[in-house]
Copies of this chain bind each other. A is one copy, B any other.
Amino acid sequence: MVSRGDGARQRMLEAALAVLDESGLAGFTMEAVARRAGASKATLYRRWPSTGALLVDAMDATYRPFPTPDTGSVSKDVTEILTAFVALLERTPFPRLLAAFIDAAERDPALSGIHQDLTKRRREPMLAVLERGRDRGELPPDTDPELTTDLLTSPFFYRHFVAHRPIPRRMVSDVVARVLFPKT
């Protein structure tokens, strides 16, 4: 059941995302979000002590973390996470928000720190899946989950934000095969 408080919170987070999407981080102020949400600045400050705190919750809301898959196969679990991530890149406002964040974080160390924390949280499902695969003996015992997570996810960021090329249908299975089960 969604309580009245949850509905109000949700409305404020949606207003925050709309402001961020339209005006970028430069226009992201408590005042602009309050106006958009039809709420008072005092109401916003009661929930979030700073624009940074509000920003973190709003970014978290776009990312919509889903339950960590646990199919018993590392290959299936990783494929599921990467497929959901590609859908996020291709069909939601997430990449526009992330792009604004990338630019702003380059100029502002505080934002860079916030984004570092968000990214750390978003990596957790992949790290968990890789650790389980290693413990089950599907991956070599010296597998480094951190480096493997970098190798599995970064090609999709790169393809979208740097190369500006569409993500081919086969790319998830190609990356999984190449990174997790390489031929020598």
Residue numbers of A with Cβ under 8 A of B are: 24, 95-96, 98-100, 102-103, 105-107, 112-113, 115-116, 119-120, 140, 144, 147, 150-151, 153-155, 157-159, 161-165, 174-175, 178-179, 181-184
Contact = CB atoms under 8 A, between A and B. Distances in A.
B106 A99 contact: yes
Contacts of A163: 116, 119-120, 150
A126 to B, nearest CB: 13
Copies of the protein in its oligomer: 2
A178 B164 contact: no
A119 B162 contact: yes
Contacts of A113: 164
A112 B161 CA distance: 9
A100 to B, nearest CB: 6
